[in-house]
């Protein structure tokens, strides 16, 4: 009898350790990448903080913060081409903005604006997915289409650790593996599915090892380490483009904020745990340490960068508040080629009530 048991190391791959020291292999153009990413990470951090404040002031509806996950998102999106297909959830706004989504558009979803359900032309990105794991199937379908059309574009599904408990994840992985489709499954393991910690979500020691069961490659990477994420994504995307099939990446990170602005994390986790993560693993701190050590960053640059980020956030908020309202009926227009008559009437009636 042969018993299969996971005996591997669960330590995620790292390039930069918590002190910002190099412990792995840097990408060739590390300095250029870091100088592009770090200011964008500062902007995203400010955007995220402002969005939460706007919700508290009643100027924005429910919002899902991404604080702590900037590295996992920005460094993975950095590998994609504009012609690749992206299927995000509600927590990928940092990556989506890096990929070209205007900040004003990123805010519109939390306003319930019909335009947030339609990506701007030219962006091969689906609107944010709220139904957990449903976008994984869409990514697999798009990957299949890339293959049938014989392009070397690929598809990426972004999802959280909780999504790996859904049937859609398993069906998507299996189908993509059997068909050797050009798909990257990118899991941001931020340790929680709302209030459920990852150890109660899965008995598997890692999420990456779930890949083995499907015959695809799995990578467990430190999701707060921009360079490690970039290297992992580079590997997975290149494989997919070469027709070598799907990869599952588990980026181990931590959600520093609440699940959404409707959530009270104090009910399911200790503030001390959050502080410990924030102090040791904040992706912005780590990258700044490395940049400073290279002589590429100092306090003056930091201050200028923060000021610029602040101005950009202010601009996005002003654009969001000036953004023209649209009748509720518009929402259905992004879903149907021809809106069914009953639905159109119903939305028109509801629109009147809402006014
Ligand atoms: C199919 C489905 N079931 C339940 C929910 C309610 N729900 C919203 S977010 C969430 C947790 C998701 O956790 P995870 O996949 O880890 O992503 P994260 O929010 O941590 O980024 C749940 C259960 C949902 N949106 N869709």
10-residue averages of pLDDT along the chain (355 residues): 82 94 97 98 98 97 98 98 98 98 96 90 95 98 98 98 98 98 98 97 96 96 98 98 98 96 95 87 96 98 98 98 88 86 88 68
- Its sign, for the CA torsion 210, 7, 243, 91, is positive
262: Cβ below 6 Å to ligand 1?
Answer: no
- What is the C-alpha separation between 69 and 191, in angstroms, rounded? 11
pLDDT for the residue numbered 350? 83
Distance 136 CA to ligand 1 centre (A): 13
Mutational pocket test of ligand 1: of 194, 250, 265, the residue with most ligand atoms within 8 Å of the beta carbon: 194
pLDDT for the residue numbered 355? 57
From the CA atom positions of the chain, what is the Rg in Å?
21
Q: Which atom of ligand 1 is nearest to the CA of 132?
A: 26
Element (H, E) at 183: strand 183-189
- What is the C-alpha separation between 285 and 278, in angstroms, rounded? 9
- Give the predicted TM-score (pTM) of the model: 0.96
pLDDT for the residue numbered 191? 96
- What is the C-alpha separation between 223 and 164, in angstroms, rounded? 17
In this structure, what are the phi and psi dihedrals at residue 267, rounded to the nearest 5 degrees?
-85, -15
pLDDT for the residue numbered 103? 98
Alpha carbons within 13 angstroms on the beta-carbon side of residue 100 total 14
Distance 257 CA to ligand 1 centre (A): 15
Residue 16 CA from chain centroid, whole number? 21
pLDDT for the residue numbered 150? 96
Residue nearest to atom 21 of ligand 1 (CA): 160
Q: Which atom of ligand 1 is nearest to the CA of 164?
A: 15
DSSP letter string, 108-173? HGGGT-GGGGSPPTT--BPPPB-STTHHHHHHHHHHHHHHHTT----EEEEEEGGGGGSHHHHHHH
pLDDT for the residue numbered 185? 98
pLDDT for the residue numbered 210? 96
């Amino acid at each position: 009898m042969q018993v299969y048991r996971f005996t591997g190391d669960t330590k995620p791959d790292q390039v930069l350790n918590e002190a910002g020291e190099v412990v792995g292999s840097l990408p060739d153009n590390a300095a250029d990448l870091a100088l592009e990413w770090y200011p964008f990470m500062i902007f995203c951090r400010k955007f995220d903080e402002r969005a939460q404040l706007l919700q508290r002031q009643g100027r924005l509806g429910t919002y899902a913060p991404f604080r702590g996950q900037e590295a996992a998102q920005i460094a993975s999106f950095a590998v994609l081409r504009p012609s690749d297909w992206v299927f995000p959830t509600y927590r990928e706004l940092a990556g989506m903005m890096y990929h070209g989504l205007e900040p004003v558009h990123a805010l519109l979803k939390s306003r319930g604006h019909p335009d947030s359900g339609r990506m701007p032309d030219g962006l091969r990105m689906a609107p944010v997915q709220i139904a957990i794991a449903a976008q994984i199937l869409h990514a697999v379908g798009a990957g299949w289409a890339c293959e049938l059309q014989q392009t070397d574009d690929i598809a990426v599904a972004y999802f959280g650790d909780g999504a790996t408990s859904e049937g859609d994840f398993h069906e998507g992985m299996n189908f993509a593996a059997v068909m050797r489709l050009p798909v990257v499954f990118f899991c941001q393991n931020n340790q929680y599915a709302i209030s459920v910690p990852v150890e109660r979500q899965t008995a598997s020691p890692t999420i990456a090892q779930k890949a083995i069961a499907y015959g695809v490659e799995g990578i467990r990477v430190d999701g707060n380490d921009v360079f490690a994420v970039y290297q992992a994504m580079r590997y997975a995307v290149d494989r997919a483009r070469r027709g070598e099939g799907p990869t599952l990446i588990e980026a181990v990170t931590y959600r520093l904020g609440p699940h959404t602005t409707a959530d009270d994390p104090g009910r399911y986790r200790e503030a001390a745990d959050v502080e410990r993560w924030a102090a040791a693993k904040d992706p912005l701190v780590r990258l700044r340490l490395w940049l400073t050590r290279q002589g590429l960053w100092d306090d003056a640059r930091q201050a200028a960068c923060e000021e610029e980020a602040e101005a950009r956030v202010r601009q996005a908020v002003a654009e969001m508040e000036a953004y023209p309202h649209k009748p509720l009926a518009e929402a259905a227009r992004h879903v149907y080629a021809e809106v069914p008559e009953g639905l159109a009437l119903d939305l028109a009636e509801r629109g009147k009530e809402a006014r």
